[in-house]
């Protein structure tokens, strides 16, 4: 979910429906049965062959249920192309029985996941502040992503958006094998830009007893999230865009000349979950078949074992086919160990700010002034208004804890009318607080951060004049209201300010490492702009997605790792266009090793409370697209390396053979630490350990020398410390020895850096170590 965009009314609709038709949830649950890879090469198969695969699924399940006919009724997806498996409604005991079969990798419940704008490209150096694109920009070099197909798994797409107009586009690339499945929505259309759309709702439907009506038979985006993310990755350049007059400029995707496709897997939330595993797998299987180059996946769930995780499974099959998958890290920060999407074969993206603000000042009666941010359209008359704390304006029935947050049903219209209400951030959506204030008759809202969100202030399209201020300023405003007899305030209309410093800094909401599933793999991998991002939106709902919001806008400002993820997807599109033969791992390495850990004041990137951020927030750092096109060296990974990695994780040869045509032999001595990842993480160093990596030359011949910034209390030695590359494609192996300094180890995570340089390229890897 984009952060400020609550789908509360969707939730309410579902709850209402469930009140009328009890029970909503069936006794029998829906499951995914995962069988690994197919032995066929899907390109050579016809639909007859696919039907045969489906029959084999019926037969397999039939052997547990007694008949293929019963199996046929229970299976609602048969994954036939790349992913081998099916989704079915089953009794728990049967599911447990199936899980024991040697041909089965995993059986897991069809669980739900959550969805996790365009100055940002200038901030990353693709254009200058006048919108002039220098010849050295990756945009020019990569022809704006021409020929590339970028797709997302999301809430669908608003096809009427100018971001998806096909003006100036030639014929659809011949490699495209997808379709435009309009369902029962005659108004939906694809074109030469938006070349495909599909929707998957059977996994969602299996969680309800009420049948889905025709409004679910469409790839149309009635929420906004999917259109926003797809246009950020591959939307056209659309001039003259603003959000209520602010952020005026040209909206653009990272690969603006790419073709795009939409796979709708997310629907109105059921108990907060919007996108279900069975649908996600069906979408991956279709997208791999359809011929996409890049898949952008701004959704995730709680971390789970890899083969119980539809995103991990789907993207593994995608990566095997050379498709680069990009995922969001989640919006559960700033606590440690909150990141989702933790497998090594996709790029996991954190979120940070860019150098643009939408200042809206809060002026108090004592003339103290605080700079907040907002994208409110409404203006206050030019005078002071009484300001009241939400807790002083509460209904007798409401608790202080609910009232301070301006939750639904807490504000007393008699006390609020004509005043500015002071609300605290947290729990309910920021834009919902504004709506509650307006419904109670307030003229304005001051929204103050709590301590944990610190300096992270977000410009939202509030329904009333409002300003979001940081924690320390919030304390001052509370203090003024507490200590004044008749406190008054004024909120200025927002403006747009560019080139603000410091930028970037990490968003407080951005989920963090360490990796809770595979601690040896650092997550997130990278950070990109995800705060107040302007991109295309749905016109089915207002910009706050509140039922009450009757405004309709074509472009909206949204925040979340959902928004940073498609920035990387757009950049991947450019790199894929430049380097068609590179593996997904090589492209990821280029993005990671060329990232920066400095902000625009040339100081270390900070977190939202002004402490130095660490690789647990930003991975390798902030993306630098122009550098990524010339990384010099890359850390490459083959599919076989991933198999060895899975063996090292504890999957056995019987299980691995389900991915290959014959028996599989695990590399007995493979250590997870030695997966050729562009970062090095040793989560339990006792004494010393030696880690190996291999670098591949993708630039000119050259001599690279290593430079190490050792983590505190750890000695690092690299052998050899000079690598000479004579030709392109040449690979060189080296060893990194990490040793605990006697009596110096802190037993908490410490961070350093390893840099290989030929004087022109700087191939940087984060080092993350915890001594035991
Ligand atoms: C995978 O999901 C199944 C079914 O929900 C569950 O029984 C099993 O414990 C899960 N496995 C792991 C490793 O989490
Ligand atoms: C379909 O169902 C949803 C929620 O269940 C409801 O809000 C909507 O009005 C229905 N649409 C039609 C066309 O019946
Ligand atoms: C606030 O500033 C205005 C204009 O500068 C001035 O007229 C007014 O007296 C000041 N009020 C206080 C309380 O300082
Ligand atoms: C909060 O914002 C104000 C600007 O209004 C700034 O001066 C102050 O430094 C910020 N607080 C912190 C803790 O950074
Ligand atoms: C507030 O909650 C009530 C039910 O408790 C609901 O009917 C109403 O729609 C909600 N209002 C808003 C604006 O969320
Ligand atoms: C304002 O008053 C409330 C009690 O009404 C108190 O909890 C809070 O700490 C005070 N805040 C400041 C900044 O004085
Ligand atoms: C920033 O980092 C400090 C020091 O690690 C930590 O205490 C604080 O919680 C962090 N704040 C945020 C918002 O991440
Ligand atoms: C492989 O692992 C599966 C699942 O844990 C187990 O059922 C099977 O017996 C194992 N096979 C071998 C050969 O160890
Ligand atoms: C296996 O790894 C260990 C330690 O990393 C090493 O000492 C040993 O020589 C390796 N054995 C083989 C057969 O590669
Ligand atoms: C470190 O942890 C990994 C799993 O995370 C384990 O396989 C390995 O044996 C541990 N090593 C030590 C020295 O504890």
Residue in the structure block whose two tokens are 């001051």: 446
Model confidence at 319: pLDDT above 90 = yes
Residue pLDDT, tens place only, 690-745: 999 999 999 999 999 999 999 999 999 999 999 999 999 999 999 999 999 988 77
Per the CATH hierarchy, to which homologous superfamily does domain 28-109 belong?
Peptidase S8 propeptide/proteinase inhibitor I9 (3.30.70.80)
What is the third-level CATH fold of 359-491?
Glucose Oxidase; domain 1 (3.50.30)
Distance CA 592, CA 614 (A): 15
Instruction: Enumerate residues 6+ apart whose C-beta is below 8 A from 247.
Output: 119, 241, 356, 358, 375, 496, 532, 534, 557
In the residue annotation, 154 being an active-site residue is answered as: yes
- Segment 634-643, tens digit of pLDDT: 999 999 999 9
Query: Band of the pLDDT at 26, cuts 50, 70, 90?
Result: very low
For residue 244, give the 3-state DSSP assignment.
coil
What is the pLDDT, as a whole number, of residue 229? 97
Tokens of 709: 């910034």
The reply to whether domains 28-109 and 359-491 share a CATH topology is no
Domain 120-355+504-629 CATH class label: alpha beta
The whole-number pLDDT of residue 669 equals 85
Measured distance CA(288)–CA(275) in Å, rounded: 19
Sign of the C-alpha dihedral, residues 617, 621, 626, 628? Answer: negative
CA 159 to chain centre: 22
Strands (E), 158-287: 194-199, 238-243, 246-251, 259-264, 266-270, 273-276
Ligand 3 atom nearest residue 366's Cα: 13
Note the pTM of the prediction, 2 decimals: 0.91
Catalytic residue among 562, 577, 589, 765: 562
Q: pLDDT-based confidence at 663, cuts 50/70/90?
A: confident
H helix intervals, 21-91:
47-65, 68-74
Ligand 10 touching residue 253 (CB < 6 A): no
Provide the sign of the torsion angle of the four alpha carbons 739, 744, 747, 753, taken in this order.
negative
| Least reliable range by pLDDT among 138-147, 314-323, 438-447 | 138-147
Render pLDDT for 143-187 as a digit per residue (tens, 0 to 9): 999 999 999 999 999 999 999 999 999 999 999 999 999 999 999
The residue whose CB lies within 8 Å of the most ligand 2 atoms, and thus the one to mutate among 13, 213, 218, 274, is 213
Which of 166-170, 543-547, 614-618 is predicted least confidently? 543-547
Which residues does a 6 A CB cutoff place in the pocket of ligand 6? Answer: 475, 478-479, 482
Helix boundaries (H) for 619-672? 625-628, 639-649, 653-657
Residue 42: pLDDT band with limits 50, 70, 90: low
Exposure string over 593-626, b if 16+ CB within 10 A, otherwise e = bbbbbebbeeeebbbbbeeebbbbbbbbbbbbbb
Q: Are 76 and 89 in contact (CB under 8 A)?
A: yes
Q: CA 645, CA 594: separation in Å to the nearest integer?
A: 25
Question: Is 225 annotated as catalytic?
Answer: yes
**What are the φ/ψ torsions at residue 483 (nearest 5 degrees)?**
-100, 5
H or E, element range at 231 = helix 225-234
- Residue 728 CA to ligand 9 centre (angstroms): 30
pLDDT in tens, 256-308: 999 999 999 999 988 888 999 999 999 999 999 999 999 999 998 887 889 99
CA–CA gap between residue 321 and residue 319 (Å, rounded): 5
Please pick, among 38, 82, 154, 532, the residue that the annotation labels catalytic. Answer: 154
Residue nearest (by alpha carbon) to ligand 10 atom 2 = 684
- pLDDT at position 43 is 66
**Residue 250: CA atoms inside 13 Å, Cβ hemisphere, count?**
18
> Angle at the Cα of 637 (from 634 to 642), degrees rounded to 5?
160
Query: Which of 521, 670, 684, 769 has most ligand 10 atoms within 8 Å of CB, for mutation?
Result: 684
Q: Which residue, by CA, sits nearest to atom 12 of ligand 10?
A: 684
For 223, the token pair is 């929420």
Residue spans of the domains in the chain: they are 28-109, 120-355+504-629, 359-491, 643-672, 675-771
List, for residues 474-522, the tens digit of each pLDDT value.
Answer: 999 999 999 999 999 999 999 999 999 999 999 999 999 999 999 999 9
What confidence tens digit (pLDDT) does each residue in 425-481 have? Answer: 988 889 999 999 999 999 999 999 999 899 889 999 999 999 999 999 999 999 999
Task: Report helix, strand or coil for 467.
Answer: strand
Kindly indicate the confidence band of residue 27, based on its pLDDT and cuts at 50, 70 and 90: low
pLDDT number for residue 209: 85
675-771: CATH, from 2.40.30.20, 3.40.50.300, 2.60.40.2310, 1.10.10.10: 2.60.40.2310
- Residue 677's nearest CA partner among 767, 609, 606 is 767
369 ligand 3 Cβ < 6 A: no
Q: Is the CB of 215 under 6 A from ligand 2?
A: yes
Query: 690 CB less than 6 Å from ligand 4?
Result: no
Q: How confident is the model at residue 16 (pLDDT cuts 50, 70, 90)?
A: very low
Q: Which of 82, 116, 225, 468 is catalytic?
A: 225
| Ligand 2 atom with minimal separation from the 13 CA | 4
Starting at the edge strand found earlier in the chain, the sheet holding 688-697 runs 633-634, 688-697, 731-740, 714-719
Number of the ligand closest to the Cα of 749: 7
CB 576 within 8 A of CB 590: no
């Amino acid at each position: 979910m984009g952060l400020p965009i609550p789908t509360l009314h969707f939730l309410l609709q579902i709850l209402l429906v469930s009140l009328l038709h009890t029970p909503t949830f069936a006794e029998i649950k829906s499951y995914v049965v995962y069988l690994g890879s197919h032995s066929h090469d899907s390109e050579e198969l016809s639909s007859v062959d696919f039907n045969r695969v489906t029959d084999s699924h019926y037969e397999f399940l039939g052997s547990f249920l007694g008949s293929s006919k019963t199996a046929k009724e229970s299976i609602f997806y048969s994954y036939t192309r790349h992913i081998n498996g099916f989704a079915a409604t089953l009794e728990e005991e049967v599911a447990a029985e199936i899980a024991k079969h040697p041909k089965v990798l995993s059986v897991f419940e069809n669980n739900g996941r959550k969805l996790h704008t365009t100055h940002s490209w200038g901030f990353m150096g693709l254009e200058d502040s006048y919108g002039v694109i220098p010849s050295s920009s990756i945009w020019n070099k990569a022809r704006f992503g021409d020929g590339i197909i970028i797709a997302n798994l999301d809430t669908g797409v608003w096809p009427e958006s100018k971001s998806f107009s096909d003006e100036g586009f030639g014929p659809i690339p011949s490699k495209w094998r997808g379709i435009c499945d309009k369902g029962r929505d005659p108004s939906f259309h694809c074109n030469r830009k938006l070349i495909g759309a599909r929707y998957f709702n059977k996994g969602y439907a299996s969680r309800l007893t009420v049948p889905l009506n025709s409004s679910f038979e469409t790839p149309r985006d009635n929420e906004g999230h999917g259109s926003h993310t797809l246009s950020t990755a591959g939307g056209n350049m659309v001039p003259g865009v603003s959000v209520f007059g602010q952020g005026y400029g040209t909206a653009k995707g990272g690969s603006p000349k790419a073709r795009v496709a939409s796979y709708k897997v997310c629907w109105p939330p059921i108990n907060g979950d919007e996108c279900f595993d069975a649908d996600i797998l069906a979408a991956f299987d279709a997208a791999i078949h359809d011929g996409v180059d890049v898949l952008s996946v701004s959704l995730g769930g709680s971390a789970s074992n890899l083969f119980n995780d539809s995103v991990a499974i789907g993207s593994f099959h995608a990566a095997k086919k050379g498709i680069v998958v990009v995922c969001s890290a989640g919006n559960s920060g700033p606590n440690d160990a909150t990141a989702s999407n933790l497998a090594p074969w996709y790029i996991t993206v954190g979120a940070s700010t860019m150098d643009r603000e939408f200042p809206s000042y809060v002026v108090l009666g004592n003339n103290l002034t605080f700079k907040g941010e907002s994208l409110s359209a409404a203006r206050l008359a030019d005078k002071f208004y009484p300001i009241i704390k939400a807790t002083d304006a509460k209904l007798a029935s409401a608790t202080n804890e609910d009232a301070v947050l301006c939750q639904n049903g807490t504000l007393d219209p008699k006390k609020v009318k004509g005043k500015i209400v002071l609300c605290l951030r947290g729990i309910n959506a920021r834009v919902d607080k504004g709506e509650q204030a307006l419904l109670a008759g307030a003229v304005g809202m001051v929204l103050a951060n709590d301590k944990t969100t610190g300096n992270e202030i977000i410009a939202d399209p509030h329904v009333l004049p409002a300003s979001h201020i940081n924690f320390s300023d919030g304390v001052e405003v509370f203090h003024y209201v507490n200590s004044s007899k008749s406190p008054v305030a004024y909120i200025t209309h927002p403006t747009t300010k560019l080139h603000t410093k410091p930028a970037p800094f990490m968003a407080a909401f951005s989920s963090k490492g360490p990796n809770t599933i595979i601690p040896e793999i650092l997550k997130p991998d990278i950070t990109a702009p995800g705060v107040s991002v302007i991109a295309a939106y749905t016109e089915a709902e207002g910009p706050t997605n509140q039922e009450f919001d009757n405004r309709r806008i074509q472009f909206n400002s949204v925040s979340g790792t959902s928004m940073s993820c498609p920035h990387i997807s757009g950049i991947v599109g450019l790199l894929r266009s430049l380097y068609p033969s590179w593996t997904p791992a090589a492209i990821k390495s280029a993005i990671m090793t060329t990232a920066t850990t400095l902000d625009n004041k040339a100081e270390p990137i900070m977190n939202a409370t002004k402490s130095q951020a660490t690789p647990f927030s930003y991975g390798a750092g902030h993306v630098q697209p122009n550098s990524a096109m010339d990384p010099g060296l890359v850390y490459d990974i083959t599919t076989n390396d991933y198999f060895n990695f899975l063996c090292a994780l504890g999957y056995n040869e019987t299980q691995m053979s389900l991915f290959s045509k014959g028996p599989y032999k695990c590399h007995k001595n493979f250590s997870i630490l030695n997966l050729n990842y562009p970062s090095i993480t040793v989560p339990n160093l006792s004494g010393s350990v030696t880690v190996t990596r291999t670098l591949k030359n993708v630039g000119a011949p050259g001599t690279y020398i290593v430079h190490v910034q050792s983590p505190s209390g750890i000695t690092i030695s690299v052998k050899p410390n000079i690598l000479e590359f004579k030709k392109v494609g040449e690979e060189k192996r080296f060893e990194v020895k990490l040793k605990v300094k006697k009596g110096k180890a802190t037993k908490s995570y410490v961070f350093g850096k390893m840099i290989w340089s030929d004087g022109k390229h700087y191939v940087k890897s984060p080092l993350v170590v915890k001594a035991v």
